[in-house]
């Protein structure tokens, strides 16, 4: 079922989502680049101003690129951090954080493909970062060393001497197995599963919504256009993430 723009959504339409949300014990929210785009952050594949628009991603965001030229990879990631520095969480991030209180005592878990850390900044407490974060560095050998990304970055791991790198999943690398397992468990256990601002192209993240659907969850997609996951959604809201989430939180507050 398609939902119109929130300004035109009837209370009856939203109630079809609010009712199962109020009864849910576990809610999972998967977010993608479309959510952070509302904070002014280009998506990686946007035409013109996308983060890949003027660079070969295999040269600056792949494990092979890091082996070939770590200095070039660091330079691009430092530029990425500077582009994120002036951005802040938007109303969509804040509404997702508010859902923790509005739906209590239900468990609300965020599964994000984004690397900007905005969910935590907005106040969400349970966040799984599938693709890592630009806020942190770690040992490339994964000896256990990790630290906030500060202005001064050690070239070598202080624990084992391996190269230090951004804590981001690059092309040619698998997702962290523990994080992916926790995300899959959350999808299987969810009563309601939101897919917000993601095209459903990148795997294995896109498969989580299908996993949730097969396990019996109500799947709600929020995206201005159709995606690879539309066929699996029980409801699709053709609008921006923040518009829908603001309307949803307003409806939940009135239902309290």
| Annotation: CATH topology of 1-40+88-131+175-256 | Rossmann fold (3.40.50)
Residues 6+ apart with CB under 8 A from 243: 5, 6, 7
Q: Which pLDDT tens digit goes with each residue over 86-118? A: 899 999 999 999 999 999 999 999 999 999 999
The alpha helices in 103-174, defined as continuous H runs, are: 118-122
- b (16+ CB within 10 A) / e for 184-222: bebbbbbbbbbbbbbbbebeebbebbbbbbeeebbbbbb
Give the predicted TM-score (pTM) of the model: 0.91
Cα 154 from chain centroid (whole Å): 28
Cα 243 from chain centroid (whole Å): 17
Find the mean pLDDT for residues 61-77.
92
Q: Residue 6 has what pLDDT? A: 59
Q: Residue 7 has what pLDDT? A: 56
pLDDT band with cut points at 50, 70 and 90 for residue 8: low
Q: Residue 217 has what pLDDT? A: 97
Pairwise pLDDT comparison (191 vs 45), residue with the higher score:
191
Tokens of 123: 């106040």
Catalytic amino acids? Answer: 131
pLDDT band with cut points at 50, 70 and 90 for residue 252: very high
CB 244 within 8 A of CB 238: no
pLDDT band with cut points at 50, 70 and 90 for residue 4: low
Tokens of 50: 């996308």
Q: Which pLDDT tens digit goes with each residue over 119-140? A: 999 999 999 999 999 999 999 9
Listed by start position, the domains of the chain span 1-40+88-131+175-256
Residues 6+ apart with CB under 8 A from 223: 34, 195, 196, 197, 198, 199, 230, 236, 237, 238
Q: Residue 160 has what pLDDT? A: 95
Weakest mean pLDDT among 53-57, 170-174, 197-201, 233-237: 53-57
Find the mean pLDDT for residues 216-238.
91
* CB count in 10 Å sphere of residue 71: 7
Q: Over 90: is that where the pLDDT of 41 sits?
A: no
Q: Over 70: is that where the pLDDT of 253 sits?
A: yes
Average pLDDT, the chain: 89
Q: Residue 116 has what pLDDT? A: 93
pLDDT band with cut points at 50, 70 and 90 for residue 14: confident
């Amino acid at each position: 079922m398609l939902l119109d723009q929130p300004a035109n959504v009837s209370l009856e339409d939203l109630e079809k989502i609010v009712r199962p949300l109020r009864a849910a014990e576990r809610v999972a929210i998967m977010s993608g680049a479309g959510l952070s785009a509302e904070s002014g952050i280009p998506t990686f594949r946007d035409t013109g101003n996308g983060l890949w628009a003027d660079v070969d991603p295999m040269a600056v965001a792949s494990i092979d690129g890091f082996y070939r030229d770590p200095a070039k990879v660091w330079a691009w990631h430092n530029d990425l951090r500077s582009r994120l520095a002036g951005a802040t969480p938007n109303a969509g991030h804040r509404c997702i954080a508010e859902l923790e209180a509005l739906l209590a005592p239900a468990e609300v878990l965020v599964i994000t493909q984004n690397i900007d850390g905005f969910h935590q900044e907005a106040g969400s407490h349970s966040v799984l970062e599938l693709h890592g974060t630009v806020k942190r560095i770690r040992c490339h050998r994964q000896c256990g060393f990790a630290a906030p990304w500060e202005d001064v970055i050690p070239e070598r791991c202080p624990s084992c001497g391996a190269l230090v790198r951004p804590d981001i999943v690059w092309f040619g690398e698998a997702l962290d197995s523990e994080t992916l397992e926790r995300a899959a468990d959350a999808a299987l256990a969810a009563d309601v599963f939101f897919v917000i601002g993601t095209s459903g192209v990148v795997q294995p993240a896109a498969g989580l919504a299908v996993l949730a659907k097969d396990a019996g969850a109500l799947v709600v997609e929020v995206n201005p256009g159709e995606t690879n996951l539309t066929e699996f959604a029980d409801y699709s809201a053709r609008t921006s993430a923040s518009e829908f989430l603001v309307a949803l939180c307003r409806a939940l507050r009135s239902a309290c």
